[in-house]
A and B are shown apart, each in its own frame.
Chain A
Amino acid sequence: MLQELLFSLPQVLIDGLALGAIYAVVALGYTMVYGILQLINFAHGEIFMTGAFIGTGFFIMLMGMSWTTAIPQLLLFIIVIVITASFTGLIGVGMERVAYRPLRSAPRLIPLITAIGISFILQDVIRFIAELATGRYILTGPSLFSNQITINFSSISSWFNNASFKTSFLIVLITAILLMVALDYFVNRTKWGTAIRAVSLDRETASLMSINVNKVISTTFFVGSALGGATGVLFAMQYGTIDPYIGFILGLKAFIAAVLGGIGNIRGAMLGGVILGLMEMFAAANLSILTGGIFGAEYKDVFAFAILIIVLIFRPEGLLGKPTAEKV
């Protein structure tokens, strides 16, 4: 049995990393907003989905123009991701302004409900626009970076099978890592980032430091939503087909990744995302082997969530979360 597990391991790692990187960046949006407002922004999954649609829309539009054929694909990709991130960032800022700020002193359940409302609105607006523009709401973007690469693991050792992936896997992974490194630097090393952490710790005192708390919260929503939208583009590129409902389950899993890593903890969200992605892919490849065919790959979510439950039983604060104890 171990032999079979090892055999598929290279492919599991590659698929798991791609999925995990996507979970990780989306999880950042949940964790940042939670850190600053103690709000679970359930509409964040829809921001991700909106990013996937905006990105795909731009790809279709740009590649339909004759002059873009001269532009290298990579440059085109960078342009689309920057535009999409700006759009979704602004949607995030608007969402906070309209749906969350007026409710900031309301009981916590209330903004949670508006978050769900915003989710439905985004799903339907996107569906409407997609249908209006293309006549369908399930879209398949142009296939980019689709060269198949095979790594010959079997020549290293007969224990391993070969693993293959598309070039887009590398793009997804590298972009996600760049985004995470950039965010980590922004939050931990810059003045704005420190202000975000200060507001997360103590909003009232932060305002006594001449920090405009509302601006900092808007910035947080912008950054979190821009990351979510950019990841939507990555997702669309890697998996091809998108519909207005992909944000729900992916958002849920990214949220779980954030909880797994310790909600409010940025590095925790990254770690949680990668672990969840790897576990899911591991389960998809090996569940039927492990259980003698009783459970198949379709039980991968059950497996991943069971691990989550076990982790939370023993570490309720998440993997990197700290039970906060402050001296007064």
Chain B
Amino acid sequence: MASIIEVKNLSYTYDGDAQIVKDAIHDISFSIEKGEIVGIIGHTGSGKSTLIQHLNGLLKPASGEVLLNGKNIWDDPKNIKDIRFKVGLVFQYPEYQLFEETVFADIAFGPKNMGLTGDELKNRVESICDTVGIKREYFDKSPFDLSGGEKRRVAIAGVMAMKPEVLILDEPIAGLDPKGRHEVSAMVKNYREKFGATVIIVSHNMEDMASLADKLIVLSGGKLVMYDTAYNVFSKGDMLSEIGLSVPVVTKVLKLINEKNNDIRTDIFTLKDAVEYLCALSAGGKNA
């Protein structure tokens, strides 16, 4: 398989005041295959936001390079805008970037910057909204009259409307209630299925990561400490807690039971698997 994104020896430090703790990154290398869902985990200040801003060319590497489909994105600095259409970045609390008078116009902002006009623009916005479940009756509403969860979805649709091959989301469900979380997760899933996009998600929520991500990038102090399948990363619980991260909560429960009963498996990371395993255990005794 061909890597869609490849990061080679990437380093970046912010200049200025030393007393402000900034999340610099040091010598990071990894590659992401087309169509994968990759999670980035790390505590605040570990370099997560610095890293993702390099992937769409908002920041220019101090050293090292970022390749998109095998080409250095900074080969032609004049075309960096095109990179941003190919690698869509949804920031934390994206609803704070809404500015247009109508939902339609706001979602159309990105495609318009790509040069789409008239029917082409209209079709683009409509097709994205159909994919992610934003109803036509919302089109003429002011984005500022929507509820928090709806605003978030409109803002995310605004990035998806550029049809990026790689979609990066920074804490996309932070601050939402269960309904809002469910809707945002569903829209990301639908987008990915329809366009075969690669998805990168930054999150603090290990439970979501366990059920969503194929692979995890673990950052600590600006360095890449692990890059592996979610299964392998969460199997190294001790290493995670050393850098201030944790395993999913169901794993913690199983580990605690395991302390008294060594037969209990501790390599289960999602709620669904845990329920299945414990039900089987209950039905078939400890040998299940």
Query: Real complex partners, A and B?
Result: no
